[in-house]
Amino acid sequence: MTYDLWYWPGIPGRGEFVRLALEVGKIPYRDRAREEGAEALMADMKARGTVYAPPYLVAGDLCIAQTASILLFLGDRHGVAAEGEKDRLFVHQVQLTIADMVAEAHDVHHPVAASRYYEDQKPEAARRAEEFRAKRMPKYLSYFERLLAAGGAGVLGARWSYADLSLFQLVEGLTYAFPRRMATLGKDIPLTLALRDRVRTLPELADYLAGDRRLPFNEQGIFRHYPELDGD
C-alpha cells in the first residue's frame, strides 16, 4: 500500500519527522501537498473533518493525524520501533517529549500569537528566547542525553527507533535556529550529537538526505534562525 502524507509544502516542519520514518523504512508514500499544493491540502483536510492540523497520513481507510500518533502507527506496522509493550510505550513517550520541545521551539518566535508575524511580537520573542536558551534547552537536552547514557547508541539502545530519527531532526533544527547556543551546549551532550551524526550517515537515508526532497530549514517553519534570538 502506498500511503498519502499530507503536510504544508515548503517547510520541513512536523511533516519531516514522519518523512524520516517513511524514508528509513523504504515505505512507499506520496507527498500529496508537495505535488498538489497547499490549497489541495486545505480542501482535503476540510473534507475529512477529523483532522485538526497537518501532518496526517492516509493509509487505506485509516486517516491518522498528530505526528507522534502517525509514528506509533508506522512503528507498529513497519517495525521502525520497538517490540513489546514496554519498549513501544517508552519510544512513544520519548517522541511525545520531543514533540513538546518542538512546540516550544516554535513558540520562541511566536510567543503571543501564532496567527501573526514574528515582526509583530519581537519584544516578547526576545524574552521567550532568553528563557528557552537558559532553561528549556538545557533541561530537555540533558534529559535526552541521560536517556542515551542509560540506553546506548539510541533511545532504545542498540535497536533503532523512530524516536532516534526525530531526535536527529530536533537537534538539526535547534542547531539551525540557535547555532551559538548549541555550540555552547554541545559540550554537555556528546551522546546526543553522536546520535545525530549516526542518523546523518545512515545508508538508508543517504539518498534522501542528499536529494532535493529533503527540505531545508527556513524562516517560515518551526525552527527559524533569527540571530537576535540566539546567544551563547
Binding site for a second copy (CB under 8 A): 49-50, 52-53, 61-62, 64-66, 68-69, 72-73, 85-86, 89-90, 92-93, 96-97, 100, 103, 107, 111-116, 121, 124, 127-128, 130-131, 135-136, 140, 143, 146-147, 150
Backbone angles phi, psi at 154, to 5 degrees: -140, -175
Instruction: Return the number of the residue (93 or 218) whose C-beta is nearest a second copy.
Output: 93
Strand order across the beta sheet in which 29-31 lies: 29-31, 3-6, 56-59, 62-65
Instruction: Return the number of the residue (36 or 104) whose C-beta is nearest a second copy.
Output: 104
C-alpha angle with apex 172: 167 to 177, nearest 5 degrees?
125
- Of 169, 201, 171, the C-alpha closest to 186 is 171
Taking the complex as a whole, how short is the minimal distance between the CB of residue 151 and a second copy, in angstroms? 9
Maximum distance among all Cα pairs of the chain, rounded to whole angstroms: 49
Upstream peptide bond of 55 is cis (omega within 30 degrees of 0): yes
d(CA 223, CA 175): 9
Taking the complex as a whole, how short is the minimal distance between the CB of residue 104 and a second copy, in angstroms? 9
Taking the complex as a whole, how short is the minimal distance between the CB of residue 201 and a second copy, in angstroms? 27
Taking the complex as a whole, how short is the minimal distance between the CB of residue 74 and a second copy, in angstroms? 11
CB contact at 8 A, 105 and 174: yes
Taking the complex as a whole, how short is the minimal distance between the CB of residue 144 and a second copy, in angstroms? 9
Instruction: Return the number of the residue (3 or 90) whose C-beta is nearest a second copy.
Output: 90
Instruction: Return the number of the residue (155 or 165) whose C-beta is nearest a second copy.
Output: 155
Instruction: Return the number of the residue (112 or 206) whose C-beta is nearest a second copy.
Output: 112
